[in-house]
Each structure stands twice: as C-alpha cells, then as structure tokens.
C-alpha cells in the first residue's frame, strides 16, 4: 500500500511532533516506507515571502512590485529561516549543512530578482509575466527550506530519505508540472526510502497562475494521481470537526468520521478548506480517498473523504461559516418576469472579477453574498447607476452541512435553534442536492449562531 501525505505548515513548524507522531510513531522498519510526504513551508514563511494570506500585509513580493529594497528584506527573511533551523537542533538537524542550503537558495533568488528588476527598468518587456515569475520563485523558497531540512533530520535519525526538489532552481528544463512530477518519481524505490517533496512545483504553465496559494495541495493531488496512491492523507493541526472548537469548545466539537467530496467543496466555498477544490477534483475522479488527520492526535483515525459516501442516518455533520462577508441586494421592480435580468447583473460582477457564495431571489430582488475583501467601489457604482435600489450590508454566513440531510425536520430544527437565540435569518439558500443549508445573519451574532446550531444539530445528536 502506497500513501501520499501532505503536512501543513503549522505541523511542519513542530517537526518534533511530525517525526514522533507521523513519520516514526509505532511503526516497524517495513512500515516506515511506502509513503511519500509533500511538505508546506513552515508557519508564516510564505507570508513573509509573498504577503500575509489573511491581512494582505506586504511581503518580499510586494516590495519587488513597488521597486523597494527587497534585497534587504530577503536578508531579514534569511535570518528568520536560520532561527527556525536552530529550533531543530535537538532532533539532529545539521545546522551547517542546512544553513548552506537555504543561504544559497536565497542568493539565487536575489540574483533572479535583481535580473528581473533590471529587465523591467528597460520598459521593453511584458511586466505581468515577469512579476508572475518573481512570485513563483519567491513562493518556492519556503517549501525547499522545509523539505531539505526534513530529509536532513530523517537521515541523521537513521531513516533513509530522498529530497525531491520540484522547484527547478538548478535546471532550465521546459517541463510542464505533470512532466516534472513524472520525471522526478520515475526511479524512486518506495520500499527503501521516504521521499520528502517540495509543495511547490515549477512548470511551464506556472502553478501559481491558476492556484496561487493553493499550490502545495495541487502538487499533493498531482503526485497522488501520478503514483496511483491507495490513499491521500492530509496532516493538519486540528480535526475536521462538527464546529470550530475555538467557538463551541473542544468538548462540543465532534470529529467527523466520514464525509464526501461534495461536502468538502461546500467547505472550500466558504474558506474552510479541507483541500483546495481544484486539487480535490483529480482525486475524486480517480476514486482516491482523502484522509484528514490531526498531527497531534495520531491515534485518531481522522476523517475519510470519499466520492460516494452518504451517511446511513440522516444527520448534520458540520456547522461552519464566516463573518467576513457582504450581502449585496439588487432591488428593481422591472425585474419581475424579465428573462435574463440576473444574467446582466452577473455580467457586472464578472467584469470586476467578483464571485458570489450565496444567491437568493424573489420577484423584484436578488441578494448575493460575497467576500468582503472582494468588494469594489467601482462594482457598487455601476450597480447603483443601472438599478433602482442597491443595499449593502456586513453580514455573517452560517452553513449546515451533511451528506444526508435531505429529510423533513432538519431545516425546522435549525431555524428554531436560531429563533430561540433571537437570531433573525436575513437570507437563506439551499439547492435540491440538500447538502448545505446557508443562513445569512447579522455579523455580531455569528459565534452565537454557530454555538446554537452545533448544540442543537450536532453535539446532542
């Protein structure tokens, strides 16, 4: 049995636990192998190199775009990476070798970026493509750092390991992502070594052009498909649970045993990614199950995501959502009976690159919920110019999810739970598939709503 396993950044930062709980644990010498590990950068590293994923705080890439002193900033990042290295001395990381590797990688990156800056200064080239190349180069540094360190630690602990560097820093081969992966794994004997692979893959199409910060999961997915893995495992710092334990409490946050790819997609749509949806599709099509495991609870079997799973008993599996969304309602009396009216609204949203999470309609109104970060003044200006009344409201979105919730009574229980807590439903949506009930509520009642629904539909079920 061959498994392909991805380790997230928070887990990688605590590599002592990764070594004890994931890689070694209680395994025999034989059980150590037949596994491939794809690793993310250590916590915060990609934020330093690009920009903060949530706040947007600028990193090296933003300094490069603004033609500021990115060389000095790269030196500071190198200092931080060397500090991270020191935290692994007690599990046998060879500091001299590790320092030499990441220092050389940073120097190479500087050379590339300085050359790019010189070319951009001429004004003769397409700026967009060069900026994309710079982003790819910077993104790759974090995964190369963590993968190299991991192999060094494993080897120094007597475990045969192979560094699979998909970053392509030292070659000029014009390979697609799939071609590079195929070539890199063509001669590996999985019975004798543990391959540790960079989450970033260099390819002619540019992995970040389409997937941006989801690139490590795409690498993970493509490797699992290439190797025909028996199972794809993702190691995170938490269980996939009925609700966020930080909101409902650990004792009421129940780990989910099984779910399906449809529910995983619903989670991704509201930013609670078990796996990037574009990474999950190839696995789903090849009928490869994903298992989500908690790095710090190694005895727990985790959550299995499969193609066709439907719970035998009708029940809610997950309560999730976000309080980082905006509701935009278009109200216009001329809408009623007008074929294609909503299409024209969507053309405006498409013009500004804005996608919706929820859509709810009646005769004269269409409400769409979008990410707050995607709200654009130009979008609102054009909507107000074309339609009679535009309402914009900061809201929260709560989702009731499950593989088998298409039964009478579940919606009634959910709405009753919200009503008992004096929470008004501003808007609602559910498709015929009935795997996701979406409730729009006031933003300041978000946590209260999560607790109410989890207590009623999950914790006491």
CA proximity to 38, closest of 273, 260, 229, 203: 229
pLDDT digit string (tens) for 155-197?
999 999 999 999 999 888 899 999 999 999 999 999 999 999 9
On whether the CB atoms of residues 57 and 74 are closer than 8 A, the answer is no
Report the distance separating Cα 395 and Cα 165, nearest Å.
44
Q: How many CB atoms lie within 10 A of CB 149?
A: 26
* The residue to which tokens 């009930």 are assigned: 437
Question: What is the helix (H) or strand (E) element at residue 216, kind and residue range?
Answer: helix 215-226
Write down the domain spans for the chain: 3-237, 318-459
Structure tokens at 3: 């498994």
Quote the pLDDT of residue 307: 94
pLDDT for the residue numbered 411: 94
Per-residue pLDDT, 28: 72
Quickly state the pLDDT bin for 461 (edges 50, 70, 90).
low
Report whether 177 contacts 156 (CB < 8 A): no
Summarize the chain as % helix, strand, coil (round to 5).
45, 20, 35
Q: What is the DSSP letter of 42?
A: P
Token pair 């052009």 is at which residue?
A: 209
Fold of 318-459: VC0802-like (3.30.2130)
Could you give the angle at which helices 410-420 and 446-454 cross, rounded to 10 degrees? 130
Q: What integer is the mean pLDDT of 237-249?
A: 93
- Interacting residues of 39 by C-beta distance below 8 A, sequence separation 6+: 6, 7, 12, 143, 146, 147, 150, 196, 197, 198, 199
pLDDT at 124 over 90: no
- Could you list the beta-strand ranges (E) of 182-316: 194-198, 231-236, 258-260, 290-294, 303-306
Is residue 81 within 8 A of residue 45, CB to CB? The reply is yes
The strand pairing partners of 398, in sequence order, are: 321, 439
Q: For residue 460, what pLDDT is reported?
A: 64
Q: Which one has a higher pLDDT value, 238 or 48?
A: 48
What would the mean pLDDT of 85-92 be, rounded to a whole number? Answer: 96
Q: What is the DSSP string of 388-452?
A: SEEEEEEEEEEEEE-SB--STTHHHHHHHHHHHTT----EEE--TT-SEEEEEEEGGGHHHHHHH
Mean pLDDT along residues 369-380: 95
Q: What is the pLDDT of residues 25-43, one digit of tens each?
A: 877 776 889 999 999 999 9
pLDDT at position 211 is 86
CATH architecture of the domain covering 3-237: 3-Layer(aba) Sandwich (3.40)
What does the DSSP assignment read for 150-167? HHHHHHHTT--EEEE-TT
């Amino acid at each position: 049995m061959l498994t392909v396993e991805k380790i997230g950044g928070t887990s990688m930062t605590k590599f002592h636990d990764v070594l004890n709980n994931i890689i070694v644990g209680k395994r025999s010498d034989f059980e150590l192998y037949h596994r491939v590990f794809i690793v993310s950068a250590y916590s915060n590293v990609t934020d330093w190199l690009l920009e903060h994923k949530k706040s947007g705080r600028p990193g090296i890439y933003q300094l490069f775009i603004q033609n500021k002193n990115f060389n000095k900033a790269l030196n500071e990042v190198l200092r931080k990476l060397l500090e991270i290295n020191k935290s692994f001395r007690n599990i046998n990381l060879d500091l001299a070798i590790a320092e030499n590797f990441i220092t050389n990688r940073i120097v190479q990156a500087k050379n590339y970026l300085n050359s790019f800056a010189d070319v951009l200064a001429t004004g003769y080239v397409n700026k967009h493509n060069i900026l994309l190349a710079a982003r790819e180069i910077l993104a790759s540094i974090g995964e190369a750092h963590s993968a190299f360190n991991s192999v060094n630690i494993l080897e120094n602990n007597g475990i045969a390991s192979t560094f699979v560097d998909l970053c392509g820093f030292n070659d000029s081969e014009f390979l697609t992502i799939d071609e590079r992966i195929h070539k890199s794994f063509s001669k590996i004997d999985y019975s004798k070594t543990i391959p540790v692979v960079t989450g970033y893959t260099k390819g002619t199409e540019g992995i970040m052009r389409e997937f941006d910060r989801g690139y490590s999961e795409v690498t993970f997915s493509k490797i699992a498909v290439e190797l025909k893995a028996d199972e794809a495992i993702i190691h995170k710092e938490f269980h996939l649970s009925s609700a966020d334990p930080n909101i409902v409490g650990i004792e009421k946050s129940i780990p989910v045993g099984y779910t399906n790819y449809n529910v995983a997609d619903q989670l991704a749509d509201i930013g609670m990614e078990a796996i990037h949806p574009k990474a999950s599709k190839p696995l789903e099509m090849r009928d490869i199950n994903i298992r989500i495991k908690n790095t710090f609870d190694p005895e727990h079997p985790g959550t299995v995501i499969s193609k066709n799973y439907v719970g035998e008993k009708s029940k809610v599996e997950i309560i999730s959502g976000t309080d980082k969304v905006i509701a935009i309602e278009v109200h216009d009396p001329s809408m009623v009976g007008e074929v294609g009216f909503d299409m024209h609204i969507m053309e405006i949203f498409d013009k500004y690159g804005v996608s919706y999470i929820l859509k709810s309609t009646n005769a004269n109104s269409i409400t769409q919920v979008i990410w707050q970060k995607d709200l654009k003044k130009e979008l609102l200006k054009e909507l107000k110019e074309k339609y009679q009344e535009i309402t914009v409201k900061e809201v929260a979105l709560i989702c009731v999810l499950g593989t088998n919730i298409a039964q009478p009574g579940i919606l009634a229980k959910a709405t009753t739970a919200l009503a008992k807590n004096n929470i008004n439903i501003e808007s609602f949506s559910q498709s015929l598939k009935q795997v996701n009930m979406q409730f729009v509520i006031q933003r300041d009642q978000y946590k209260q709503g999560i607790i109410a629904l989890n207590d009623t539909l999950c914790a006491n079920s």
